[in-house]
Amino acid sequence: MTATPPDLPVDVLALAAVDLRGAQVQDWSQERDAFSWTLLAGDADRGHELVAITYVGAVVLHVNRRELDAAVRDAAEVAQSQVVPAAQGGYEHHVTLRAAYRLVVRFWSVDLRRMPAPDHLRRHP
C-alpha cells in the first residue's frame, strides 16, 4: 500500500488502512450499483480475518465476470492495493492480484466489515 491522501472521508480512509497484501479472494457479487467482495487477509502469525468490502456507486474496470470467478477459484492473492481520489469525482480502489488480474473499482462510498477467521480458510493454489 502506498501513501494515502489525508483528506479522504472516514469510510474511504478505513479501506485504505487495511493491509490487503497477500489477501485471498473468497467471493464476489455485483448488484445494481454495488460491488462486493470478501478477502481473507492476514497470516498464521498475525491471525486471519475476513474483510467484506462493499463499494456503493461502483463501476468495476479492467476485469469481467469470468476473470473474477477465476480469481475466486484460484485463490488469487492481492499483490498491491491503493485507494485514490478519482479524477471525475468519487474514489478508486486499484488492486493487482498475483494471478495477473488488475482491477479498478470506481466508487462513491464504501462499507467495510472485518471479522476474525480460522486459519484453515487459507487456500494454497
User: How far is the C-alpha of 39 from the C-alpha of 19, rounded, in Å?
Assistant: 11
Fold topology of 10-114: N-terminal domain of MutM-like DNA repair proteins (3.20.190)
Sketch the domain layout of the chain as residue ranges. 10-114
Mind listing the pLDDT tens digit for each residue in 51-85? 999 999 999 999 999 999 999 999 899 999 999 99
User: How far is the C-alpha of 23 from the C-alpha of 113, rounded, in Å?
Assistant: 15
pLDDT value of position 2: 47
pTM more than 0.95: no
When comparing pLDDT for 55 and 122, which is higher? Answer: 55
Cell numbers linked to 13: 480512509
User: How far is the C-alpha of 7 from the C-alpha of 3, rounded, in Å?
Assistant: 12
